[in-house]
Structure 1
């Protein structure tokens, strides 16, 4: 273990650790254990139950760090998730006892007493180190502590994890370099420790780091755990010998069964006693992982037999029997293990998330900056293609085409919101699983933060296209055009939120959203007018197509109060659309609306606005319900 100097070594601040002790001494859980834990799934081939974790026992005391190790597919991540009361595996059945201080702990109790740091921790790249920890504190601690105390706790954690010099540095985005990989791992742990958990679960905290960075990260974690009596359980892939020595306890898994569980210092003696001595010049962790890994064995039958011998040796060992005896379920005392809730109220959490989203939105160009540039480019393209159309019969169809193009492609290009939405969902699922807030707060904040940016996009697009294309020249006409585009964008973004909530996979979400937009374009009333549209498509999809209402509204806005000069052939007026102005060689715009079967009174326009708002609300409500029923 690193032995820091009295002042600072490797960024380790002794004074900060002393200050941090004031905030991390309220842990009430002295031991965490599990007994006869089994996880089974249904075999895809024969549909029979398949055990992926068998009869696991364990005990970790406050201040200790337990390493879960094993080859790929050994069950270490399954065990970690089962212990944290997370989804252990798809459609998995979990049986056994999980206990805090010897008492059975349910999902709510455990999540209030613990925090979980995922392998790919969903840090927000546009936030600074201090903001990351501070927002975690605000979401988890709420109004239980004063603002000054919260700032002191945040500063103490940042200093304790050697991040003082990076406190005002952003985490890092694809366009902006931030902190290093090792610093991100330390930040991920610090942002969870701010909630003062009694138990900390870490999924591969050293994954992707070199040997020196891995040791640095685990050294910080080990020091904080010991000084503040935190139980740490970490799945580790293949630590170096110096990193391995930092762990107090060691649990070795293979094929879902335990090969050893006990103090790291006793590992050498145990394996020597069962006839599997660890050579002196070997990294113990590397040797043991190779020893219980049968995936690459040349003689698979012999390797399986040797592994079974290791499993049998553990089953019959004195160490295993003592562990089983120590993990008995105790009768609950008069005062059971409890933990105060760390979940902020929905309204408060929504305000905090709104603040955080605002910082992300204006700092991260990928969130809205690129979309603004993209839509502005589309506006210039549209305005210069349909440039200053004259009010003549030959311009009627180009006006209609421009209206369709503007609304349809504004909606279609909302697919650009898929990547940032998936990133937001990753952060949400991590923080929800740690009990910080629920889907309602996330949905409200996500909707509200989009309003000013989407309005800005609609405004910039309208300013460019409306006057360049020579749409109806009036302030009222411009603001109606702006309103339809704004509602169009709100509905399109609501669709993206719904699709990504159901399928948060980039390619899938992109394909489904693009398909949906293609469907809306097809049945919206432009490509095929309502009089000719197939009955099935008309009654099943047309009336729930938000693009259809946008197109109708923009058509009425352009044609209700405008007239067009008919073409003249041999000195006589030839009018494409017949109206009461035909004798004067003109076309009243309402004749175009009649040809499309569009009503153009204020009552219908108000109804279309109401339907559009309803569609927007339904998309958001469905997105909320999807997040609510999903497991974390």
Structure 2
């Protein structure tokens, strides 16, 4: 807002004329702020009584000067059990930075975080904080094809100890579903792009409930009301507040422009501007504090809007006093009594941790996690339900491959054992193996959804890279085998490949390995580049490269040595193509063309040419293909394992 002119007084500006009582009243003269206004009657959380951060600072490297740039400066705060803290500020103020920093997460890309994170006055490591807390992302990891109850059950399975009985687990799940008002929707799916499920507010509630089933003592919420209207926002925060009071939880949420009714549900507020604290304390006391430093809030004004507009520099124009106002507010907060009392409260908590025998020692708290095998089993169960319900994951691919099989079968229809049809046979083998592999790019969106879910659960300490990798690999095998069989039956018999039971088995085996390898490639590329367009383009490009060097388009005796020795021998399509060629031609005999004078014209030299025949092995010799099927199977499996292991290592190193 523009600075006042012509004698007008902005309610953002300190009062400088007329009544000067507010101007003369120094913030140090304010009465003590009650830092723990919530007195819960149900103190279930007897482990973490308070959570604090002290001298928290986050620096990044300035792109222009390459020098350290502070995006969060000397932040202090303390939240007690049963309280809800709202972290607020305009865009770029440092809300998410502060939330991530206090949650012991990466505050920003390339950032360096210093300062103390304290629970019960004790410094707490990120590993210990993971045991005590849960973090709900702005877009939480909900799987659209699962029902509300299934979502809660699987969340419990990933977090609760194997010592927790099934009865206790289900009781906890049902209690939370009822507490968040989702009883009537417990058998409703979350919702997919194809099938509608929960409303936006119900999804937000389910996202929080699925984190609370893990029994956290501290809950971090990143924009829990984003995308919701004021009514749904109030509904979501009301449910969270009720749970927090009932179980004495500590709730810390970043929030953007809440309605008046939603804003008043919070017990404390932290106001940030340009990474500096403008206010921290009880929400009711904020009005008096800002009045005391000369910034009165007009009547019938949304307090959240007033505070945000007061410290927002985004829309500042030339001649405005916005920057001076924000500097004035941050400087006065740093020097005022309420800020010093926050620091004193933190110091008291630290002192109490050293002297009181009633405060639990969090360093001795042992994690009570599920057994080593429990998590992969839960992931397999969840992935199985998702796979057979989610049309996008596999069913669309099944119809795609079935359509391709019918297309191929009718184009290469009933090929005969004459030399004119030898090349169409080879073309059909190449086309089938190459395009089966190429069309695996359709798995990219489904895997990225799974990866997104994993990243959120891993950040909360629930799922490790090994469990995720193992479950993802094994759950795909039956569906890939089903795709292979459904493709092979029409394609094999319509084209008239070698009519032999064992030959059909080998055909299915080679295509199955082809699909498994192609899916492993998708996984490897997607974990490195978890962006849909990038993963899709790179996977398609690499499959195109494999087509070029597999030995069909350019024979091995012609292929450039660089492409041959660098790429051909790691090309799984090459081994699949060779294996299918051997399977088709190793025992077959084809008729040569016969001229009008009765002479035979044979395309491939063979010991049967004199009889007007071509032995199939002559075709293999022409393509420089030997018969080492067992070796090729081993190499293909090694390539599959290589992709999967590399993907696992990327996940482990990156997350």
TM-score, normalised to structure 1, is 0.94
Report the 3-state secondary structure (helix = DSSP H, G, I; strand = E; otherwise coil) of the residue aligned with 2:373.
helix
Name 2:33's counterpart in structure 1: none
Of 618, 623, 645, 1:591 maps to 618
| Residue of structure 1 equivalent to 2:609 | 582
* CA 332–628 in structure 1, closer or farther in 2 if over 3 Å, else same: farther
Measured in 2, the distance between the counterparts of 1:326 and 1:281 equals 33
> What is the DSSP-based 3-state SS (H/G/I as helix, E as strand, rest coil) of the residue aligned with 2:198?
coil
Residue 156 in 1 paired to residue 175 in 2?
Answer: yes
Question: Where in structure 1 are there 5+ consecutive unaligned residues?
Answer: 1-20
- 2:651 is aligned with 1:624: no
Q: Paired residue for 1:337?
A: 362
SS at match of 1:87: coil
Q: CA deviation at 1:326?
A: 1.7
Shift of 1:300: 6.5
Structure 2 portions without partners, runs of 5+: 1-40
Shift of 1:568: 1.4
Distance in 1 (alpha carbons) for counterparts of 2:290 and 2:245: 27
Report the Cα offset of residue 381 of structure 1.
0.6
Is contact 1:477–1:557 with CA below 8 Å preserved after alignment? yes
1:415-494 matches, within 5 Å, as: 415-494=441-520
Partner of 1:60: 79
Partner of 1:525: 551
The answer on whether the counterparts of 2:84 and 2:267 sit within 8 Å (CA) in structure 1 is yes
| 8 A contact 1:387–1:470 mirrored in 2 | yes
The 1:84–1:258 alpha-carbon spacing in structure 2 relative to 1, beyond 3 Å, is: same
Of 269, 275, 283, which residue of structure 2 is paired with 1:250?
Answer: 269
Q: 1:11 maps to what in 2? A: none
The answer as to whether partners of 1:98 and 1:105 remain within 8 angstroms in 2 is: yes
Larger radius of gyration: 2
Deviation at 1:54, TM superposition (A): 0.6
**Deviation at residue 26 of structure 1 after TM alignment:** 4.7
Shift of 1:332: 4.8
Cα offsets for 1:56-99 (capped at 9, x unmatched): 00000000000000001110001101111111111110000000
Distance, in Å, in 2 between the alignment partners of 1:584 and 1:274 is 107
- Residue in 2 that maps onto 1:220: 239
Q: Distance in 2 between matches of 1:72 and 1:239?
A: 14
Counterpart CA distance in 2 for 1:348 and 1:581 is 62
| Conserved? CA contact 1:195–1:342, under 8 Å | no
CA contact (8 A) 1:122 1:426 kept: yes
Kindly tell me the number of residue pairs found equivalent between the two proteins.
Answer: 607
Q: Is the 8 A contact 1:126 1:173 kept in 2?
A: yes
Counting only pairs closer than 5 Å after superposition, residues 290-329 of structure 1 correspond to structure 2 as: 290-299=309-318, 302-328=321-347, 329=350
Counterpart selection for 1:508 from 525, 531, 534: 534
- Asked if the contact 1:342/1:436 (under 8 Å) is kept, the reply is no
Q: Secondary structure at the match of 1:327?
A: helix
* 1:523-551 deviation per Cα after TM superposition (whole angstroms, max 9, x unaligned): 11111111111111111110000000000
Contact 2:162 2:371 in 1 (8 A): no
Deviates more, 1:611-620 or 1:339-348: 339-348
Match of 1:348 among 364, 374, 377: 374
Residue equivalent to 1:362: 388
> Cα distance, 1:139 vs. partner?
0.8
Residues 44, 246 of structure 2: 8 Å contact kept: no
Q: Distance in 2 between matches of 1:547 and 1:148?
A: 50
Distance 1:561 1:347 in 2: 47
- Looking at structure 2, the residues matched to 408 and 171 of structure 1 have their Cα atoms a distance apart, in angstroms, of 37
C-alpha contact (below 8 Å) 1:204/1:234 kept by paired residues: yes
Q: Using the alignment, how far apart are the partners of 2:75 and 2:301 within structure 1?
A: 28
Distance apart, 1:347 and its partner CA:
2.0
Distance, in Å, in 2 between the alignment partners of 1:35 and 1:85 is 13
**Aligned-pair CA distance for 1:343:** 4.0
The answer for the alignment partner of 1:229 in structure 2 is 248
Q: Report the CA distance between 1:486 and its aligned residue.
A: 0.2
Instruction: Give the 5 Å matches for 1:30-179.
Output: 30-179=49-198
Give, in whole Å, the separation in 2 of the partners of 1:25 and 1:411.
Answer: 55
* 2:88 and 2:269 in contact (8 A); partners too: yes
Query: Is contact 1:346–1:438 with CA below 8 Å preserved after alignment?
Result: no
In the superposition, relative to structure 1, how do residues 47 and 105 fare at CA in structure 2: closer, same or farther (>3 Å)?
A: same
| Cα deviation, residue 280, structure 1 | 1.3
CA distance in 2, matches of 1:592, 1:278: 89
In structure 2, what is the Cα distance between the partners aligned to 1:496 and 1:550?
18
Deviation at 1:27, TM superposition (A): 4.4
The aligned counterpart of 2:4 is none
Q: Is the 2:45–2:81 Cα contact (8 Å) retained in structure 1?
A: no
SS of equivalent residue, structure 2 residue 227? coil
Determine the C-alpha separation between the residues in 2 that align with 1:400 and 1:355.
41
- The answer to whether the 8 Å contact 2:82/2:250 transfers is yes
Distance in 2 separating the partners of 1:283 and 1:172: 34
Deviations 1:79-130 (A, max 9, x none): 1011111111111100000000111000111010000000011100011001
CA distance in 2, matches of 1:522, 1:46: 47
Give the corresponding residue for 1:13: none
TM-superposed deviation, 1:345: 3.5
